[in-house]
Amino acid sequence: MATVEKRGKGYRITVAAGIGLNGKQIRHRLVWTPDEKLTPRQVEKELNRQIARFEEQVKTGSIAAEGNIRFADFAERYMADYGQANLKPTTLSNYQRNLVRINQAIGHIRLKDLTTFHIQAFYRNLQEQGIRSREIAACKVDLQALIGNQRGAISAFSERAEVSRATVKQAINGNPINRASANAIAAALGKKPGELFDMTTHGEPLAPATIRAYHRTISSVLEKAVKWHCIPSNPAKGAELPSMAGRKARYLDEPDAKRMLQLLQEEPIKWRAPIIFDLLSGLRRAELLGLRWRDVDLDTGVVHIVQTSNYVSGAGVYTSTPKTEDSDRYLKVSKTAVRILLEYKAWQDDMRTKVGDAWEGTPEDDRIFTNEVGRPLFPTSITQWMGKFIKRTGLPSSSVHSLRHTYASLLIAEGTPLVVVSSNLGHAQVSTTNDIYSHVIASAEAKAAQVTDKFMEDIHPKFTPSAKKEGNS
C-alpha cells in the first residue's frame, strides 16, 4: 500500500516492501512533480497512475527491495548466509581475501547505485604500476656468524625460526627474501629486522589472472544480489577484463621431459611415483593427491577423477569435488603409468607393514599418494620437493602444474585430436584448450606442413620450394 505526501510542487510516493536484511522496514520512495500545464483533475489522474506504476515496480523487483544496502554489508551477508555453507573452502578463503581490497574500493557504494563504471574503474586501478607492493629484505650482516658454523646449525635455526632451510641459506648468501621471513629470522635471533636487513619496496601491477579472480568474487556476490531481488541486474557483467592473450603455458619440451624421467629414476619412490604419474596423466595437483586406489582400475588403466585434495589455512587438508563438472572424468592412462602405480603400491604396502598400528590410512580413505605413515601428502610438500629437484638437477624452471602442460603439449605434438586432449585435461570447452596451447598447436601445424613438403619431394621433386628456387635462378 502506497502513501502520498505533498512536497512543494511535487508529491512523494512511499511504498513498503517488507523487512530487510537489517531487520528494518524497507521503504521505497519516488518524488513526482506534475507538469504545470495540467489541470487539478489531470494531476490527480496522473498521480494515481504514477502510484500504481511505482507499486508494480516494487512488487516485481524492478525497484530493488534491498538496493539501499551497501556492497560491503551485502557481501558480509552473502558470505554468512550462502558462502559458508555452499562454497568450497578454497573458494571461500579466496573470496574472503579478495573482499578486503574490493570493499576498500566499492564497499561504501549502495547496491542500487553500483554501476559497471565503478567496477571498471576498480579493475583499471588494479592494473596501475605499484598497486601491489612487495617488501624485499637483503641481509646486511654476517648472518652465518650469528647462526653458527657448526654442523646442523642452519637446520636447527630453520626449525626455531619456522622458516625453510632454503630461505635461511638465501639470506646468508645475501639474496633477497620476503619481509615475513626476515621478521621471523630477526625474532629468532632476538634482533629487530632493521638491524639485520635492508628493506626495499617494489611496486607492480596485478596480473590479468589476479584481476579476473577479483572479478569472479564481485560477480558472484552481485549474481546472488540479483537472485535475492536486491538489484534487477548484475553490473559486473558489463565490465571489460584484461586480456589473457600472450599467456603461454610453461612446459618441458620432449628432450627435457625425457631427461627429467631419467633423473627421477634415482629419486625416492615417495616422490618419484607422483611426479612421473602426473607427467603421464596431466592431472591437476589437487586431482593427483585426491586419487584413491578404488578410483583406479589397474587391469584396464582407467582412472576416475572424482575428488580433489586441497589445503586452506585454518581448515587444513580437505577433500572436495573436482573443479568443474567436466573435471569429473574417466581417463585412460598408459601401461607405464600403471607400472609406476604398482611399484608405488608395493612400497606403500611395505611401509604399512613396517609401521603397524602407527599407519594412519583407512579403508574409507585409501589415498594413493601418502607419506610413510599413510597420511595424505600435503599439497605444498610435493610442490616444494619438485622445486628443490629442479634446482638440484639443473632442469629448466618448471612446477608440478608444468607437468600437466607438458603432458598436453606431448599429446598435441603427436597429433592427438584437440577434443581428446581437452577431454583428458577436464576442460569444459575445447576453446579453453586451444587458447592455452595455441603456440603448441601452431608448432604442430608447422610440423604437419613439413610432412606434406617431404611427401611431395619424394614424389615430385620439381614441385618442392628448393626446386622452384633453382629453376628461377
Q: What is the pLDDT of residues 352-369, one digit of tens each?
A: 999 999 999 888 889 999
Q: Residue 456: its pLDDT value, please?
A: 64
What's the whole-number average pLDDT of the chain?
Answer: 86
Query: What percent of the chain has pLDDT above 70?
Result: 88
The pLDDT of 258-277, averaged and rounded, is 95
The pLDDT of 325-350, averaged and rounded, is 94
Task: Round to whole Å and give the CA distance between 81 and 137.
Answer: 42
Q: Residue 66: its pLDDT value, please?
A: 55
Nearest alpha-carbon partner for 303 in 318, 321, 320, 290: 290
| Cα of 169 vs its chain's centroid, Å | 30
Contact 214, 102 (CB under 8 A): yes
Return the DSSP state at 83: I
Q: Residue 202: its pLDDT value, please?
A: 64
Q: What is the pLDDT of residues 93-136, one digit of tens each?
A: 899 999 999 999 999 999 989 999 999 999 988 887 555 556 78
Task: Round to whole Å and give the CA distance between 24 and 44.
Answer: 32
The pLDDT of 444-448, averaged and rounded, is 70
The pLDDT of 294-298, averaged and rounded, is 95
Q: Residue 167: its pLDDT value, please?
A: 85
Angle, vertex CA 375, rays to CA 406 and CA 274, nearest 5: 15
pLDDT level of residue 458 (50, 70, 90 thresholds): low
Q: Residue 272: its pLDDT value, please?
A: 95
Task: Round to whole Å and give the CA distance between 88 and 98.
Answer: 15
Q: Residue 226: its pLDDT value, please?
A: 87
Q: What is the pLDDT of residues 174-196, one digit of tens each?
A: 888 888 889 989 999 999 999 99
Task: Round to whole Å and give the CA distance between 387 and 259.
Answer: 16
Which residues, at least 6 apart from 22, have a Cβ–Cβ distance to it below 8 Å? 69, 73
Q: Which amino acid is at 141?
A: V
The pLDDT of 253-273, averaged and rounded, is 93
Q: Residue 473: its pLDDT value, please?
A: 41
Q: Which residue has the cell 589445503?
A: 311
For 67, the enclosing helix (H) or strand (E) is none
The pLDDT of 1-17, averaged and rounded, is 85
Question: Higher pLDDT residue, 335 or 59?
Answer: 335
Q: Residue 431: its pLDDT value, please?
A: 86
pLDDT level of residue 471 (50, 70, 90 thresholds): very low
Query: What percent of the chain has pLDDT above 90?
Result: 46
Question: Higher pLDDT residue, 336 or 180?
Answer: 336
The pLDDT of 276-304, averaged and rounded, is 95
Q: What is the pLDDT of residues 56-102, one digit of tens each?
A: 877 776 555 556 789 999 999 899 989 988 998 889 989 999 999 99
Q: Identify the structural domains of the chain with CATH numbers, from first to last.
A: 2-60 (no CATH), 71-129+207-238 (1.10.150.130), 132-204 (1.10.260), 254-411 (1.10.443.10)
Q: How many CB atoms lie within 10 A of CB 313?
A: 7
DSSP SS3 for 230: coil
- pTM value is 0.61
Burial grade of 111 (CB within 10 A; 0-12, 13-18, 19 or more): buried
